[in-house]
Amino acid sequence: MSQIVKRAYKYRFYPTPEQADLLNRTFGCVRLVWNKALAERNRRYTDEHVSTSYVDTAKWLTAWKQDPELEFLREVSNVPLQQALRRQQVAFNNFFAKRARYPRFKSKHKSRASATFQNNAFSFRDGVVKLAKMDAPLDIVWSRPLPERAEPSTVTVSKDAAGRWFVSLLVEEKISPLPPVDAQIGMDAGLTHLLTLSTGEKITNPRCERRDRRRLAKAQRELARKAKGSANRAKAKLKVARAHARITDRRRDFLHKVTTRLVRENQTLAIEDLTVRNLVKNHSLARAISDASWRELRGMLEYKAAWYGRTLAAVDRWFPSSKLCSARGCGHVNGSMPLNVRSWTCPACGSVHDRDVNAAKNILAAGLVER
């Protein structure tokens, strides 16, 4: 049965100097409003033991705009400032529900520069997007079409550390499930191979960061030699950011292709419920684990399975998938098995197992039970 989902379509665009200046000022105002509201929330709770709502922060914003020292807040659209306060309220709701960490202050150099415009602060007609307080539309590169008759509800403009500009349009889209298939798959995540499937197929880990490590290291060395605050340091910093962006883009493209294929070909998918946050505490493997991006892989599988009528089962991370014999009717659990042991023979039934394929078969069996 078809379902209506909210889906963001992201495109690059190239602003004029005037648009870039206005958007950069908007980003700064959004960051300022977030930080001032967070500081006042903290003060009220510490000094007065009073909780704060979005309505309170909206009143603060109105007062700040009347302050002569903050009159520049009136030079940008008010909607992104209000949206920043709404996002902060959501962040606190998630914190109190124990779904996220306590909201943090935004840094000019480390935080993502973005601003969200609701439909009362932009116009969209015939593929032309024009934001509030701008005289000209955005020069967007439409790399893929929007759904037919789509009407964006919000437009988010962002700029990454590499200096690239993006616009993300949130639309409602009707997605139909894929035709049912009989195939089922178990997946064991790894480092040498990104995924080992219960069919015996091993999907190679592209190691995007490792392949570009020399280029990245060279850019970082050049950055370290530049004087702080100099124009040359800014140029060197941009080179480092572009190297990171290249790695991120290639990794995400590969993960999208792999997850789309797996979801299309299989009705049920089973994967281990790994806690990546704990795994990266191993300093010997942290860099390789981050490069594999298991968390992003899991997230893609989750939303694509939900969209296309597939089932994704997560198997408990303490399940002994590698040590359990997957031969029919056996079920023997082997003893301690270091990571350097890549194959083993079951002492109970004599079956010879590839460690990763055996784990994928056991993950599939466990996933079918939990489903």
Catalytic residue IDs: 188, 272, 356
Q: Are 294 and 276 in contact (CB under 8 A)?
A: yes
CA 206 from chain centre, in angstroms, equals 19
Contacts with 98 (C-beta within 8 Å, 6 or more apart), sequence order = none
Q: What's the one-letter identity of residue 93? A: N
Residue with tokens 């399975």: 305
Contacts with 58 (C-beta within 8 Å, 6 or more apart), sequence order = 82, 85
Structure tokens at 253: 């493209």
Q: Which residues pair with 116 in a beta bridge?
A: 156
**CA 361, CA 359: separation in Å to the nearest integer?**
5
Structure tokens at 85: 């306060």
Structure tokens at 195: 């995924």
Pairing of strands 3-12, 122-125: unpaired
- The rounded radius of gyration (Å) of the Cα atoms in the chain is 25
Backbone dihedral angles phi then psi of residue 47, each to the nearest 5 degrees: -90, -35
CA 352 from chain centre, in angstroms, equals 39
User: What burial letters (b/e) apply to 313-325, b meaning 16+ CB within 10 Å?
Assistant: bbbeeebebbbbb
